[in-house]
Chains A and B, each alone.
Chain A
């Protein structure tokens, strides 16, 4: 039954991976921008939550309400200044710029917070769990993470499907020039997409801060998980990203059960296997003609 437990924990962990990956998926989908600073930005969100708890005494989960607009504002500024300029240059420019941004963010965080590990304390909640069967206990916090992940993905999906700016994002994603001729200012749409992407990764950051200890360099691992979740799920599919996150989560927890010393080896192998056998992911976006 410990296997069943590992699977359940893994599925829940998938919610966190999906939260991490959703913004990456959105930015790539809308503007084909590979954001290598995504992991570092998640840690920026974690530190924002940490500082808010330390300085203002806000309850840990309430910090999300402040982190969301802060991260969205950072996203808007970042896109309207740096990233829109980078997108106008040759294809490699955005990758180099976001890589450079990740390095800068890491070093700034290192200066501000040293290399010591921090975490956001939530008291008893961290260990609270619901006993389902004698062998399976669901942690309250992992469950919350999962529920928030599903809600965010569902909300983002609805936003893209039903709102005016959501449609503009899909139109711009499909054909930027044709969208421009429909009166859509693609630079504003890009800024909006990055604002949303960073708001979501900010939520992920706060959850990371509560779940584990982190320091300035923790973002690298999360960046890789986020990429793997997006690619397993299929580029451009948000529900695919959630499924990708859950597969990755299960592979992580089952892998830890199988080979406790090998870390995320199994998860990486699953990712490689999917890349080899299903290169378009599990839920590829269907494109006609």
Chain B
């Protein structure tokens, strides 16, 4: 590969009791890339993000970030070295204003002080289109704005890598394009994105490469359209209520 690798995952495994949620998972994500992950429910997608974010520890395997082994690094410190994530169900600090939510990210993980922290927090609000809501209590936001706040908060930490967990989930068809524009904005600013999504057409329209997981294993990885057309991937989706038609069409 010509591009430099920002994130390298080697032989990552995790079991919860007898349930295998990550089984010898190995892949790389390049600097500046948009990397998508799909898979049926229970495929281990969120577990994978939790492992990369440091919220849970792997049973085996190694994670490297920017050439450094971060397998044993605590979640708070991973945030400081440049890994940010959004939650599937937005988890804003509901008692704080939108600005305060974002400022917490820039002043802790971002390691900024004083004015610099304010500037970065406002920049994150601007990128995500939340500037006019800065003084609103985060608990009062509607879903799209909560999703944007997840992005803004992640962005304020000054990340090199943002992990997105089904950020388009629950949005209406009309709300998805503005969110995609925001994500494209992040990519344009040089941030690398790893994005889990069930809404495949949204994902395929943005990502450079796509990986399909099933039962903790990698089924296919590569060009998004090819991955969605591969027989193995179609097979795991058959019989589920999931609609891949749009994914193939887009």
Contacts and interface: CB of A to CB of B under 8 A. Distances in A.
Contacts of B139: 287-289
A288 B94 contact: yes
Contact of A170 (B53, B80, B93, B153): B93
B130 to A, nearest CB: 16
Given A180-B75, A180-B79, A183-B80, A170 B108 contact: no
Interface string B79-104: 11000110100010111100011011
A285 B85 CA distance: 28
A170 B96 contact: yes
A170 B104 CA distance: 10
Contact of B76 (A164, A170, A185, A285): A185
Given A167-B100, A177-B55, A183-B80, A288 B85 contact: no
Contact of B93 (A171, A186, A285): A171
Nearest to B78: A181
A174 B55 contact: no
B105 interface: yes
Contacts of B87: 178
Given A181-B84, A183-B80, A168 B94 contact: no
Nearest to A183: B109
Nearest to B158: A183
A173 to B, nearest CB: 8
Q: DSSP class of A's interface residues: helix, strand, loop or mixed?
A: helix
Contact of B95 (A164, A174, A177, A181): A174
B247 interface: no
A140 interface: no
Interface in B93-123: 93-96, 100-101, 103-105, 107-111
B104 A168 contact: yes
B100 A288 contact: no
Interface in B129-159: 137, 139-140, 153, 157
Contact of B107 (A164, A174, A285): A164
A178 B96 CA distance: 13
Nearest to A175: B91
Contacts of B140: 288
B95 A184 contact: no
A138 interface: no
Contacts of B105: 182-183
B55 A184 contact: no
A179 interface: yes
Contacts of A174: 93-96
Interface string A272-289: 000000000000010111
B79 A289 contact: no
Contacts of B107: 164, 167
A162 to B, nearest CB: 10
A178 B95 contact: no
Contacts of B75: 177, 180-181
B96 A182 contact: no
A181 B53 contact: yes
A165 B87 CA distance: 23
Nearest to A167: B104
A191 to B, nearest CB: 14
A289 B76 contact: no
Interface of B: 53, 55, 74-77, 79-80, 84-85, 87, 91, 93-96, 100-101, 103-105, 107-111, 137, 139-140, 153, 157
Interface of A: 164, 167-168, 170-171, 174-175, 177-186, 285, 287-289
26 contacts: A167-B103, A171-B104, A174-B93, A174-B95, A178-B93, A180-B75, A180-B79, A181-B84, A182-B104, A182-B109, A182-B153, A182-B157, A183-B77, A183-B79, A183-B157, A184-B76, A184-B108, A184-B109, A185-B74, A185-B76, A285-B95, A287-B94, A287-B95, A287-B139, A288-B94, A288-B137
